[in-house]
Amino acid sequence: MDFLALDILSLHQALLDGKINPIELIKLSIEKAKKDQNNAFEYICEKEALAAAANLDPNKKHNLLWGIPYVLKDNFSTKDIPTTASSNILKGYVPIYSSEVYLRLSEQGAILIGKATLDELAMGGTGMTGHKGFTFNPWDPTHKRMIGGSSCGSAAVVAAGIVPFSIGSDTGDSVRKPASFAALVGMKPTWGRISRFGLFPFAPSLDHVACFTRNVTDSAVVLEALAGRDEKDSSSATAPLEKYSEAIKPDLKGKKFAVIKEINNSISNPYIHAVFDATVKALQERGAIIEYVSMDMKLCKAIYPTYIVISCCEATSNNANLDGIKFGPRFDGKDYEEVMTKARTEGFCEMIKRRFVIGSYALFKDNQAEIFLRAQKVRRLIVDATNKILEKCDAILLPASPTTAPLFNGGNSDKLSNEYLISDNHLAIGNFAGLPSIVLPLGFENGLPFGINVTGKKFAEAEVFSLAKGIEDITKLKDLVAKEDK
Amino acid sequence: MNFEAVIGLEIHVEMNTKSKMFSTAPIRYGALPNSLTVPLDFAFPGTMPVVNKQAVINAIRICNALHMTIDRELWFDRKNYFYSDLPKGYQITQQQRPIGSNGYLEIETSLGKKKISIERLHLEEDTCKQLHSWDCTLLDYNRAGIPLVEIVSRPDLRSGQEARQYAEKIRSIVSFLDVSNGKMEEGSLRCDVNISLRPIGSEKYGTKVEIKNLNSFANIEKAVDYEIKRQEMILISGDSVIQETRRFDEGIKQTVLMRLKTDAVDYKYFTEPNITPIRLSEEFIKDAIETSPELAEVKLARYKDLGLSDYDSQILISNKNTCAYFDKAIKSGPNAKLLANWIIVDVQAVLNKEMIEIDDFKVSPEHLGKLVLMIEKEQVSNKQGREIFQKLLEKDEDPEVIKKALGVDLINDNNMIAEAVKHVIDENPQAVVDYHNGKDRAVGFLVGQVMKKTAGKANPAIVSKLVIEELKRR
């Protein structure tokens, strides 16, 4: 039996039944990690993981994540385990404290087997900018296609069947977009639902902890382990929690979905339209109500620029701590200015520097009102428009991406086209508004997956899982592992 | 031409809270460098700020003392710049919405009371301490993140003396509120002065100069007075003042150039995204104010009501801990004036002699209060009181116990004393003659003899009264 291809709940049962023990399971996972062909790992924690497996508290074996191997995106602080954020400026950095996410998962008995690659400092959506080079999409054994980013490694390890779940971070669509390209379930809950303490910030007002699994129920299981107030993150929410995995009710009767026409219509791929429409029809057949609603086209076109301005502004400030003085590699210089300048010149890739320049420019006193504050206002307008739609329905339903996984050398896409500005970036709405948002597989085109997105109301994670499960029951696309025959 | 100085002060006060502004690291002056830190203080990636509630309470109390409008929502901003003493590459401060705005403070001038307007008070965090040596700079992160309040006055001050008074008043407020020790020499209170000159009658401000690194209240006055003269000389000779930052050199008692103010740094302020705005309920604010320690002004009024002279009150109030001692001692019930006198004269003498602070004074305020009460009720004489006080200095115990041990019960029984008086006068007929011949000394002599006869236990006041009565009778 291929244990690593199992979902969390089945693995849990196998562990309980004694079909495999945690140490054997962790060994399998690490063995497969070592053979990883997708450049998905920054670090494999072999020693640490085996020690953790040996020290598991048997009294906790009924925890659903007990003994389950997983991977963290390498921007979660892990005490005594290198954490680089795939950036040269943090090469060799070993944190002295652990993120809340890591602590909670360890508490549940989940076992960290590795740290995954990302677009440098979680900025980027291609999986191409990390200091270790491209991360590949396991659904394309020829390694010509991206898996998307920035949580590229976290997506690849679940899609390749190395672990049943992984943790990423989602600032614009950094978990949900790769989920779409890798036939995974990618979920980010409401902003504040999971503590961000120990997550290297990219843009805190947009940053979310998010997870990859291979089916909807597993996603709920992972959220259950992570959700809840943390005193160390004062933005973490006190809203009541639910037993998400038990609250799933896939009954779609009377459920109301809104499809935003402007976003859906900006997709040019007819096949994706066809599959989406067929799914909509199936939903209706099961008693769901679909309403096609409108969002001001000006707002739709403003999603991407708004995202870029806000995220770059916050990023340039958040990453100002990376100055080569306190931690990370030391770049010598005759004074502090030279040390900082050298560290930041040699430590960051070009894309990062570009974003910092954009962010700084937009924050300058003379530009701030015109660029940054305007972006904040537009964000507010988009959020208001989205919440207005959600007042009249249970969730917003849309194709997750306008394409399947793009080629690395696909040439320059038209960044001013509606398709790029709107349907390729609409998932950021969920970040603007901090809403629970999930992507799950919708179909395949030429062997390459694409996903569907459900976004719900604040703290309505249970509802979002239920609706997603209803869709999963229709598509029957779950527990998919990419076959990697080169 | 006559000029008028226009002076505004920016005062940073370091708080003495248990932990830092946004981290759980403890605060202690003089600790081993870098021993009081948590990951946040080094800005390790992923660490997050959590607002210190006590720091907010402190800020509300200062705002209240300065008659400021208190914002009902707490907002923080980032001030972005790169410097070796700034771990995060930004400082969390309150640029857009300071917790306090539009207040004032009254100072005493030769022309009477003067209101100094205060523009704003905001919360922020301190930076690292830098120790420069000839070949390197060492960083101490103990100071990084200590809560600060910055209090910015409007340019209402006109002289060095006013500036000093204003700063001292701020020190008194933060120290009486238990927010800070307010010691300039320890850097707990830092003062930057903005100063410009303009012709009297002019509404327009002149070019302003900033003076930094002032390490005492006296130096604030000296620096301002020097700077006024310096700028006056420049203007009189027809030159113009250059916008610059200067520091006060104590050795030569002059302000000297630190740097020219060229293009101001663009701090790219924006709202701190990791701290969602915090609503301050009316109840929270009310509670912070009502539980606030008593301010000097309030104490002064209370002491006046207790019957203390202005002079005595001022002396007590010049030291917060002396006030605290007085306030505890008065609870034992003695007369305020008498108690104040004991503290100002007798206790102070001991403190001076032993070179200690009142906090280290061995006699507890309760016991001193009791002793003063005993004297006031004439249970012991003044002299006996001093004797008991000496014993208290050796061992701090209940003065009643010492009184018994010394056997110094004062005799207040008129009949008993009258008996002794008669005896003494009978034995000294010459004294009677002397008295009637107008020699007042005779009274003193007889009182002394009575005291001797009663082993010093008779109440001297009664003795002297009865001696005179008896003499008149003979």
In this structure, of A195-209, A257-271, B316-330, the range with the lowest mean pLDDT score is: B316-330
Sheet holding B90-93, edge to edge: B90-93, B77-80, B270-271
The predicted pLDDT at position B450 comes to 87
Mean pLDDT of A18-44: 97
Q: Tell me the pLDDT tens digit for each residue of B119-134.
A: 999 999 999 999 988 8
Mean pLDDT of A83-98: 97
Instruction: Give the C-alpha separation, A306 to A297, whole Å.
Output: 14
Q: List Cβ neighbours of A205 (8 Å cut-off, separation of 6 or more).
A: A310, A314, B273
For residues B87 and B42, is the Cβ–Cβ distance under 8 A? yes
Asked if residue A432 belongs to a domain, the reply is no
Closest partner residue to B89 (CB to CB) among A232, A321, A368 is: A321
Q: What percent of chain B has pLDDT over 70?
A: 99
Asked if residue A348 belongs to a domain, the reply is no
Q: Please identify which residue in the block is written with the tokens 């306030």.
A: B327
Asked casually if ipTM beats, i.e. exceeds, 0.85, the reply is: yes
Nearest to A424 by CA among A75, A194, A83, A148: A148
Instruction: Give the C-alpha separation, A222 to A215, whole Å.
Output: 11
Examine the pLDDT at B404 and tell me if it is beyond 90. no
Element (DSSP H or E) covering residue B286:
helix B282-290
The SS3 call for residue B464 is: helix
CATH code: domain of residue A221: 3.90.1300.10
- Beta pairing partners, A43: A115
The nearest alpha carbon in chain A to B264 belongs to: A365
Nearest to A116 by CA among A138, A100, A145, A143: A138
For residues B245 and B259, is the Cβ–Cβ distance under 8 A? yes
For residues B58 and B74, is the Cβ–Cβ distance under 8 A? no
Instruction: Give the C-alpha separation, A336 to A338, whole Å.
Output: 5
The SS3 call for residue A250 is: coil
Instruction: Give the C-alpha separation, B232 to B219, whole Å.
Output: 19
> Does A169 touch chain B if contact means CB atoms closer than 8 Å?
no
Q: What are phi and psi of B169, to 5 degrees?
A: -65, -40
In this structure, of A102-111, A389-398, B188-197, B310-319, the range with the lowest mean pLDDT score is: B310-319
- Beta pairing partners, A71: A114, A166
The alpha carbon dihedral of B370, B371, B372, B378 has a sign of positive
Instruction: Give the C-alpha separation, B46 to A202, whole Å.
Output: 10
The predicted pLDDT at position A412 comes to 61
- Sequence letter at residue B157: L
The nearest alpha carbon in chain A to B128 belongs to: A326
Mean pLDDT of A386-406: 97
- Cβ contacts of B45 on chain A, cutoff 8 Å: 75, 77, 83, 85, 90, 95, 200-201, 321-322
Q: For residue A163, give its domain range.
A: 3-252+439-446+454-475
- Cβ contacts of A322 on chain B, cutoff 8 Å: 45, 89
Q: With CB atoms and an 8 Å threshold, state whether B48 touches A313.
A: no
Mean pLDDT of A356-372: 97
- Model confidence at B262, pLDDT cuts 50, 70, 90, reads low
Instruction: Give the C-alpha separation, A238 to A193, whole Å.
Output: 8
- Model confidence at A332, pLDDT cuts 50, 70, 90, reads confident
Mean pLDDT of chain B: 92
Q: Say if residue A408 is exposed, middle or buried (CB neighbours under 10 Å; 0-12, 13-18, 19+).
A: middle
- Domain B414-473 top-level CATH class: mainly alpha
Instruction: Give the C-alpha separation, A459 to A328, whole Å.
Output: 37
DSSP state of A460: -
- Model confidence at B415, pLDDT cuts 50, 70, 90, reads confident
- Cβ contacts of B84 on chain A, cutoff 8 Å: 325, 336
Q: Tell me the pLDDT tens digit for each residue of B321-364.
A: 899 999 999 999 999 999 999 999 999 999 999 988 898 899 99
Instruction: Give the C-alpha separation, A61 to A67, whole Å.
Output: 8
Q: Say if residue A333 is exposed, middle or buried (CB neighbours under 10 Å; 0-12, 13-18, 19+).
A: middle
Mean pLDDT of A79-103: 97
Q: How far apart are the CA of A370 and the nearest CA of chain B, in angstroms?
A: 13
- Model confidence at B470, pLDDT cuts 50, 70, 90, reads confident
Domain count, chain A: 1
Q: With CB atoms and an 8 Å threshold, state whether A365 touches B49.
A: no
Domain boundaries, chain B: 3-279, 294-406, 414-473
For residues B241 and B255, is the Cβ–Cβ distance under 8 A? no
If one counts every other C-beta atom within 10 angstroms of the C-beta of residue B28, the result is: 11
Asked if residue A143 belongs to a domain, the reply is yes
Examine the pLDDT at B76 and tell me if it is beyond 70. yes
Closest partner residue to B44 (CB to CB) among A96, A232, A372 is: A96
In this structure, of A44-53, A223-232, B35-44, B412-421, the range with the lowest mean pLDDT score is: B412-421
Residues of A taking part in catalysis = 73, 150, 174
Q: Tell me the pLDDT tens digit for each residue of A44-84.
A: 999 999 999 999 999 999 999 999 999 999 999 999 999 99
- Sequence letter at residue A106: S
- Model confidence at B435, pLDDT cuts 50, 70, 90, reads confident
pTM of the complete model beyond 0.80: yes
> What are A202's two structure tokens?
């990219």
The predicted pLDDT at position A411 comes to 67
- Model confidence at B297, pLDDT cuts 50, 70, 90, reads confident
Asked if residue A486 belongs to a domain, the reply is no
> Does A325 touch chain B if contact means CB atoms closer than 8 Å?
yes
The nearest alpha carbon in chain A to B45 belongs to: A200
The predicted pLDDT at position B197 comes to 96
Contacts 24+ apart (CB under 8 A), A344-350: A344/A89, A346/A88, A347/A87, A347/A88, A347/A89, A347/A90, A347/A322, A348/A87, A348/A88, A348/A89, A348/A120, A348/A121, A349/A87, A349/A88, A349/A120, A349/A129, A349/A131
For residues A92 and A112, is the Cβ–Cβ distance under 8 A? no
Distance (Å) of CA A81 to CA A76, A106, B63, B444: 10, 14, 46, 91
> What are A152's two structure tokens?
């590229």
Examine the pLDDT at B407 and tell me if it is beyond 80. no
Q: List Cβ neighbours of A171 (8 Å cut-off, separation of 6 or more).
A: A122, A150, A202, A203, A206, A207, A208, A311, A431
Examine the pLDDT at B184 and tell me if it is beyond 70. yes
Mean pLDDT of B195-213: 93
> What are A17's two structure tokens?
């039944």
Q: Tell me the pLDDT tens digit for each residue of B46-64.
A: 999 999 999 999 999 999 9
In this structure, of A2-11, A64-73, A434-443, B130-139, the range with the lowest mean pLDDT score is: B130-139
The predicted pLDDT at position B263 comes to 66
The nearest alpha carbon in chain B to A365 belongs to: B268
> Which of A326, A338, A366 would you mutate first to test chain B, the one with the most B CBs within 10 A?
A326
Q: With CB atoms and an 8 Å threshold, state whether A320 touches B80.
A: yes
Q: Tell me the pLDDT tens digit for each residue of B91-147.
A: 999 999 999 999 999 998 888 899 999 999 999 999 999 998 888 889 999 999 999
Q: How many CA atoms lie within 13 A of B372 on its CB side?
A: 25
- Cβ contacts of A205 on chain B, cutoff 8 Å: 273
Question: What are B's interface residues with A at a Cβ cutoff of 8 A?
Answer: 39, 42-51, 78, 80, 82-84, 87-90, 137, 139, 266, 268, 270, 273-276
Q: What percent of chain A has pLDDT over 70?
A: 99
Examine the pLDDT at B1 and tell me if it is beyond 80. no
Q: With CB atoms and an 8 Å threshold, state whether A326 touches B275.
A: no
